Amino acid sequence: MKRQECLELDRLDPLAARRQDFELPADVIYLDGNSLGAAPRAVQRRLQSLIRREWGEGLIRSWNEADWFTMPTRVGEKLAPLLGAGPDQVVAADSTSINLYKALVAALRLRPDRHRVIGDAANFPTDLYLLQAACEAVGGRSLERLDAEDIAAAIDGDTAVVALSHVDYRSGQLHDMATISAAVHAAGALVVWDLAHSAGALALALDEDGADFAVGCGYKFLNGGPGAPAFLYVALRHQGGIEPVLPGWMGHANPFAFAPDYEPAPGIARNLCGTPPILSLAALEAALEIWADVDLAALRHKSQALGQLLIERVEEICAGHDLALASPRDPDQRGSQVSFHHPQGYALVQALIGRGVIGDFRDPDIMRFGLAPLYLRYVDVWDAAGHLAEILESGEWRQDSFRSRRTVT
Ligand SMILES: *Cc1c(COP(=O)(O)O)cnc(C)c1O
């Protein structure tokens, strides 16, 4: 492979035009779209007009006239095709952490007579904290943290809930949703999936794969902006049975009756809690427009090709520098990122950022490179590997400024 071949791949790329939908600095190679997606140009237009017309002129009338009130369910419906979800099962609201807590408590309450709860030991910290908290809140449950590959075999008739991420945030390992969900259901248990690193990265089939509950972030591969609303999926078959753990007025059957007692809305809307963040929802909604033109099979194909290119090129030109692949080599086992171990991973990532090549670092030694196929080019991946090789060769990462830890890594 040569750099020229990357330029040719970019020329033939069916997704190439999508890059124009984003604001991206010319001197940056952005390999962190799995942590904070790039800014879609449509978001700026939408927010400007919302602030000027809907808020500025419409004022409080816009809750009705600009349809603000229905935004959490409306944006949920726009997300549903990306998740492989039929209608009335998705809301855009709150954060992933909060939605996870809602889903976990709901799932535990649907299995009151079972005691075991199984979580993925390598899951993102907030998932582990909230799983523990949900078990304590519901009571009588004991949490076991297992390696993801041991989960299916550990499920039995006393298992209430299994919770795991579809794509591991550190390694990028992709778990088989259909197989794990089937094993969970065969034992009569329920499964809660975290899609933080899969929504917008690959095609999902929540209905077909039998997910019971799922949550995910709006600000990663969905490009909804920093702190964008998250989403919650509840399979239709469970919706009637859920008493929300946070029974706020926005999930009431009739919020503007101002009734003293809570009565859940029919369907997915009962999972809403308080007043929705309209600016953030509008940003996410505008960001989702991009997907109307995206073939998810082409997205996955490009994501896998970018990953193979990064692995091959780094292993070719960075050999002998203590780098070890931390992601599955098989592209079918991997989400849309590639990670490497290196004892000086933090400083190396900082040195890359110093050159405008933005990835991130995850303790203890993981350099993580997100591959967002909507705006990343083959030539970017080629050049990023070249920068990494130069940094390793020159030792420029040894500068003090690259070695002192900042708050956000
Ligand atoms: C990014 C991420 C989160 C973040 O949750 P927030 O509530 O948005 O902070 C949660 N879980 C996983 C697996 C993640 O990757």
Distance (Å, rounded) from C-alpha 22 to C-alpha 13?
Answer: 17
Q: Which residue, 350, 348, 344, 345, is CA-closest to 362?
A: 345
Decide whether any atom of ligand 1 lies within 6 Å of the 126 Cβ: yes
User: What does the radius of gyration of the chain's CA atoms come to, in whole angstroms?
Assistant: 22
Task: Give me the average pLDDT of each 10-residue run along the chain (409 residues).
Answer: 96 98 97 98 98 98 98 98 98 98 98 98 97 97 96 96 98 97 98 98 98 98 98 97 96 97 97 98 98 97 98 97 97 98 97 97 96 98 98 94 87
* Res 319: pLDDT: 94
Is 103 in contact with 213 (CB distance < 8 Å)? yes
Distance (Å, rounded) from C-alpha 196 to C-alpha 104?
Answer: 16
Sign of CA pseudo-dihedral 226, 367, 22, 14: negative
* Res 407: pLDDT: 87
Residues 6+ apart with CB under 8 A from 332: 174, 304
Decide whether any atom of ligand 1 lies within 6 Å of the 337 Cβ: no
Q: Residues with catalytic annotation?
A: 124, 194, 219-220, 368
Which atom from ligand 1 is nearest to the alpha carbon of 96?
A: 7
* Res 1: pLDDT: 79
* Res 79: pLDDT: 98
Three-class secondary structure of residue 116 per DSSP = strand
Decide whether any atom of ligand 1 lies within 6 Å of the 124 Cβ: yes
Does the pTM surpass 0.85? The reply is yes
CA of 125 to the centre of ligand 1 (A): 8
CA of 216 to the centre of ligand 1 (A): 7
Residue whose tokens read 């003090």: 400
Determine how β-strand 230-234 pairs with β-strand 213-216.
antiparallel
CA of 96 to the centre of ligand 1 (A): 6
* Res 102: pLDDT: 98
Q: Which residues pair with 219 in a beta bridge?
A: none
**Which residue's alpha carbon is nearest to atom 1 within ligand 1?**
196
Mutate to test the pocket of ligand 1, among 124, 168, 193, 368 (most ligand atoms within 8 A of CB): 124
Q: Which residue, 239, 238, 206, 200, is CA-closest to 85?
A: 206
Distance (Å, rounded) from C-alpha 295 to C-alpha 281?
Answer: 24
Peptide bond into 364 cis (omega under 30): yes
What's the CA angle centered on 279, arms 275 and 280, to 5 degrees? 85
Mutate to test the pocket of ligand 1, among 34, 35, 36, 97 (most ligand atoms within 8 A of CB): 97
